[in-house]
A = this chain, B = another copy of it.
């Protein structure tokens, strides 16, 4: 999948991933009304509304971007019904040729980590046949438990040609509480990055590894340093747009050839119609507003990388 992702980034000239992180606040009223009328104003109705909303956005942007990143928490909050919407979204995006990064931030040990890897990137064996649970192309993974938590994912990545993005430095203000603490003169996140690079070398694609990492856009000074420590890993960069990151801050995350990083924007794209800038699209034009926001982001990144 990393080879396909890199190829699609080149082809579409867009190192962009659309974060499909819906909340009911983002969903236009006309979609909610129709879903609630059909299924009730409950977990099922809300999940249907979210699926319809997602579908509209995917239809409007799938030709522009290589990948989407549904954040599973936003679906899990609606319980089992929400996870049905998550699965429908994953399947639909794959049908549309998009690479799907499941932002699940799972992390556990041994057989438990294996179960997460199997559930999200592979299939569970039942009477000798493999059945796929969620079947994303990539998953995000939390490193706090060390190699025992990561190795089951590496095994599955090799078997299925799928990938993971390991959290190195997150984009939130308090990420420094633990991640920035110095150990032997280097911050914890750099120690994690060194391990990520070791894991990355174990599972190489053509030019990049199936093992990528997450480094927040809110820390541009780290971009260049992290690129050096993990030269084979794609960096998934959250925090663009709503969280404060701008295109010009992101140059250091990329290699000279414009590859090596993919930038996520969630609400900046999916709720674009609620921003003043795109308000003329109105509620019914929410998907077209998302398309306009993607085009603007593409331009912003292109300009930043050209400099």
Contacts and interface: CB of A to CB of B under 8 A. Distances in A.
Interface of A: 21, 23-24, 36, 41-43, 45-46, 71, 73-74, 76-80, 82-84, 87, 105-113, 115-116, 118-120, 124-127, 129, 131-134, 142-149, 167, 170-179, 181-184, 188, 191-192, 195
A133 B41 contact: no
A125 B116 CA distance: 28
Contact of A148 (B21, B87, B142, B173): B173
Given A41-B127, A73-B116, 8 more contacts: A71-B115, A76-B116, A78-B124, A79-B119, A79-B133, A109-B175, A143-B144, A143-B178
15 contacts: A24-B126, A43-B126, A46-B126, A71-B108, A77-B124, A79-B133, A80-B84, A82-B133, A107-B107, A109-B172, A145-B170, A145-B179, A146-B177, A148-B172, A178-B192
B133 A78 contact: yes
A145 B106 contact: no
Contact of A74 (B74, B115, B177): B115
A106 B192 contact: no
B116 A145 contact: no
A132 B79 contact: yes
Contact of A178 (B105, B106, B146): B146
Given A43-B126, A124-B46, A174 B146 contact: yes
Contacts of A83: 80, 83
